[in-house]
Homo-oligomer: A and B are copies of this chain.
Amino acid sequence: MRWLSRDQERAWRSLALVMHQLRWALECQLERDSELSFIEYHALARLSEDPDHRLRMSELAAVTNASLSRLSHLVKRLEGWGYVRREPDPTGGRFTIAVLTDAGYSKLVASAPAHVAAVRQLVIDEFSAAELAQLRTMCERITTRVEASTWKLELT
């Protein structure tokens, strides 16, 4: 077992604090302004990026990094509010498609300005373009490791 050095511990702690604090600040902003959770907002945003506003549940699970059972609860909530509906996949009966409704798209359009303003204020405006590129590279190196790890989605 190798423990962390003092500098490694400090780096890890600063990243853990971002995960706690930034996540919590954005949850609060979305809850206050839009009555959505961070992951609900991101699910609507990912659906809106498909030209037809629809994704297989398994694709939506991958982009929101939810397990399928967790995503199923999430989509049921969004469906209850009328923002999403589920349909059988016409190309394969085993699959379910999540479709962004017009109400869901309107909700996203209404929610985005305040959320983007928060993201700017808390993250983007702090960094130069070169620093943002650096931050992106570092984050992508982490997610590559996470995606390769055996822990991901192991619990549902």
A→B interface (CB under 8 Å): 1-4, 7-8, 10-12, 14-26, 28-29, 31-32, 39, 42, 64-66, 113, 116-124, 126-127, 129, 131-136, 138-143, 145-147, 149, 151-155
- Contact between B155 and A14 (Cβ–Cβ < 8 Å)? no
Per assembly, the copies of the chain total 2
In the complex, how many angstroms separate the beta carbon of A16 from the nearest chain B beta carbon? 7
Contacts of A133 in B (CB 8 A): 7, 11
Determine how close the nearest CB of chain B comes to the CB of A68; give it in whole angstroms: 13
Alpha-carbon distance between A122 and B153 when the two chains are bound, in angstroms = 15
Q: How far is the CB of A49 from chain B (nearest CB, A)?
A: 11
Instruction: List B contacts of A118 (CB < 8 A).
Output: 149, 151
Inter-chain pairs besides A11-B132, A18-B143, A135-B138, 6 sampled, C-beta below 8 Å:
A1-B117, A14-B135, A16-B42, A123-B142, A134-B138, A138-B138
Judge whether B116 and A4 touch: CB under 8 Å: yes
- Interface hub of A16, A116, A145 (most chain B Cβ within 10 A): A16
Q: Roughly how many angstroms separate A117 CA and B3 CA in the complex, as a whole number? A: 8
